[in-house]
Chains A and B, each alone.
Chain A
Amino acid sequence: MAEASTGVSGGRLRFILSEMKPRGRWLTPFNVISIPVIIVGLVILWFRFTQGLGSVTNLSQAFPWGFWIGFDVVTGVAFAGGAYVITFVVYVMKEEKYRPIVRVTVLNGFLAYLFYAGALVLDLGRPWHIVNPIIGNSFGYNSVLFLVAWHFLLYMIAEAIEFSPAVAEWLGARKARRLLHAMTLAAVIFGITLSMLHQSGLGALFLLAKAKIHPLWYTEFIPILFFVSSIFAGLSMIIFEGTISEKVLKEYLGDKAGGHDNLVFGLAKGAAIAMFVYYFFKLLVFLHEGHWSELDTPWGWWFLVEVLGLVLLPCILYAFGARHRSLGIIKVAAVLTLIGIVVNRLNISVIAFNWQAPVHYIPSWQEIVVTLMIIFLEIWVFRWVVTRMPVYPGTNNRPAPAIDSD
């Protein structure tokens, strides 16, 4: 018995090791760009951890949160919202049409949390104390950030469970797969709940910055706005990411990637509806707060660019594209929407934050390089996973030999 199990785990280990090896061409444009960026990023991080955040970032006493929080964490988590939306549609509402994209979306969501929310560690002054709110020696119950931190952690576990059947299939572990598969619905329901709470919780963080955020952006409804916008941010990311993968991963996906147009029209319709709700909310909040006089200032124009140009316009484009079945228009809408989310999240966390400060924060090149490094690392891992595990339906990834004895 013992011998047999050693044989099984030994065989699996050999399989995993063989899978670790890189495949395909090395000199791709992506590798040529990403490898130097990752190396430079690591050097920057060495300075950051030996000489302090001030050595590589433009953070200051007036701007304690910069690009790493505003873009990597706050925007990255919004972009990862697609996972909870799609799992809701497929597993809860049983809308089978979208099943082909469940795994890739969940994988994207999981990696986004791992890398973008994980980038938080780089920004923490004392990251070795990150376990404090988890192990219970210092629970800050009253803090929204305490809630967000816990939900990040739990949601990553839920997403890992949602994705785990693919890993089990890759490893040929059929018993484990059955068990993990049975846990999916529970993980999905838990995951959606956690997502609602931490997507809005990220917004609720800024409720405490009432004295600092420009009145056009500060409202007690920030949490609801963050939640609703995470729906269409996630849907747009699925459309955008799908477009890129279709091109880049052609050799793995083959013709199978085609025939998803119907699915994209459905996503576009969903995004249009969510965006209209969001736009309507924004309008109500504006009328309620009544900052009319602020509109005809540079801040007001910038606000209008965000709300009209990067919410209302892509909302109309989505609706138009879905109705007239135009993939081109939908892709434009997706890109505009994603830019709109970046602008909105950065406005609240960085740009319209401490808007009266005489010297405003602008990210340093090092902050940008580290952010690029994180994005590239995520893409590396994503590429490794999708070319080995059964993520896209019908791809010809070589499965592991079935080594379960059942």
Chain B
Amino acid sequence: MDRRNFLKTAGVACAAATGARSARAQEHDTDPEEFVGVLVDTTRCIGCRSCEIGCALAHNLPVPDVQDDGALEAVRTTSETSWTVVNRFETDSGEVFVKKQCMHCWQPACTAACLTNAMAKTARGPVTWDGDKCMGCRFCMVSCPFDIPKFEYDEWNPRIQKCNLCNERLERGEKPACVASCPTDALMFGTKRELMEIARTRIYAHPERYVHQIYGEFEAGGTGWLYLSAVPFEQIGFRTDLGVTPYPEYTRDFLYAVPVVFFGMPALLYGLNLLAARTEAVRGAPNGAEHVPSPENPSTSE
């Protein structure tokens, strides 16, 4: 642990002990950059699945056969060999195609769950996985409200597989592969601030075309990926019961209570012990006190 981290931890512990609730600041004070994300306009998606191909090629995953429309018959989830999938939904306003991948939450459940920082939110916004740190406990999978991290159950040295927002491409100044391969501008890459402006503009300009909600604006505390839709989101496979609380908040109170218990409890227990010893002394019956030989302490009697 380096000095900076130590001070940071000590600071957080002190803040916790005094009941201050200022930990949120720590997530942003080191981020000069704005988080990036992708806006998905499901009214523009034609279900061509070019994004699936682009993603597979960019990450050495098996390339799907998009000629085979059979894959769209059932709703699919992402898997350990496909980081993104496009699903078809029959709705009141006809067929709707929806791309699914990691949402790149602003305050992700998986990074709060990870005990080795293998899951981490980079300063630019992608949530990435580091195989040198991961111990394979799969707590990220348990905690993710979108069920995104996938585990290689048939490998002796398994990896967690999930969309990394093409972090390696972003570092080269390129767009994510899926966005680059989308032929209809259904996907748009940018900072969340820009994307929100665009999304709102589209709703204002065509209020009859969209439901007046941007999925990802607030869900689970806000996500990097944003969705526009013509039909209510629950009809196209989205969970609308996740609430707006960032997931790390759910364990924050517990974690803040830890230092209090950790330092308070021993003091309390020691006090109780002194009290008990005193009561015993006053009672004048030191039976079983530490120095008296007892059947289980044969050596003290020698």
Contact A51 B133, beta carbon cutoff 8 Å: no
Measured as residues with beta carbon below 8 angstroms from the partner, the interface class of chain B is 35 or more
Contact A169 B251, beta carbon cutoff 8 Å: no
Hey, what's the 0/1 contact readout for A320-351 against B, CB within 8 Å counting as 1?
A: 00000000000000000000000000000000
Q: Does A360 lie at the interface of the complex (its beta carbon under 8 Å from any beta carbon of B)? A: no
Contact B265 A207, beta carbon cutoff 8 Å: no
Q: Does B134 lie at the interface of the complex (its beta carbon under 8 Å from any beta carbon of A)? A: yes
B138-193 at interface with A (beta carbon < 8 Å): 138-139, 141-143, 145, 147, 150-158
Q: Does B25 lie at the interface of the complex (its beta carbon under 8 Å from any beta carbon of A)? A: no
Q: Does A183 lie at the interface of the complex (its beta carbon under 8 Å from any beta carbon of B)? A: no
CA distance A223 to B134 in the complex (A): 25
Q: Does A204 lie at the interface of the complex (its beta carbon under 8 Å from any beta carbon of B)? A: yes
Contact B254 A64, beta carbon cutoff 8 Å: no
A384-405 at interface with B (beta carbon < 8 Å): 390, 393-394, 399, 402
Q: Does A259 lie at the interface of the complex (its beta carbon under 8 Å from any beta carbon of B)? A: no
Contact A129 B239, beta carbon cutoff 8 Å: no
CA distance A370 to B292 in the complex (A): 45
* Contact A205 to B273, CB < 8 A, known contacts A133-B115, A192-B265: no
Contact B239 A140, beta carbon cutoff 8 Å: no
Contact B116 A133, beta carbon cutoff 8 Å: yes
Partner of B270, one of A64, A147, A189, A201: A189
> How many A-B contacts are there with CB distance less than 8 Å?
198
Measured as residues with beta carbon below 8 angstroms from the partner, the interface class of chain A is 35 or more
Chain A residues positioned under 8 Å from B109 (CB to CB): 208
Partner of B136, one of A50, A124, A208, A394: A124
CA distance A88 to B270 in the complex (A): 11
CA distance A201 to B262 in the complex (A): 13
Contact B153 A60, beta carbon cutoff 8 Å: yes
* Contact A390 to B254, CB < 8 A, known contacts A126-B135, A129-B116: no
Contact B276 A93, beta carbon cutoff 8 Å: yes
Contact B156 A50, beta carbon cutoff 8 Å: yes
Partner of A208, one of B116, B142, B258, B290: B142
Q: Does A132 lie at the interface of the complex (its beta carbon under 8 Å from any beta carbon of B)? A: yes
**11 A-B residue contacts at CB 8 Å?**
A61-B141, A61-B147, A129-B116, A137-B133, A138-B116, A189-B270, A196-B261, A200-B254, A205-B139, A208-B112, A394-B295
Interface residues of B (CB under 8 A from A): 1, 5, 9, 12, 77, 79-80, 109, 111-118, 131-139, 141-143, 145, 147, 150-158, 239, 241-243, 247-248, 250-251, 253-255, 258, 261-262, 265-266, 269-270, 272-273, 276-277, 279-280, 287-288, 290, 294-299, 302
**What are the 7 tightest A-B residue pairs by CB atom distance, in nearest-first order?**
A125-B136, A54-B153, A96-B288, A208-B143, A146-B115, A64-B138, A64-B141
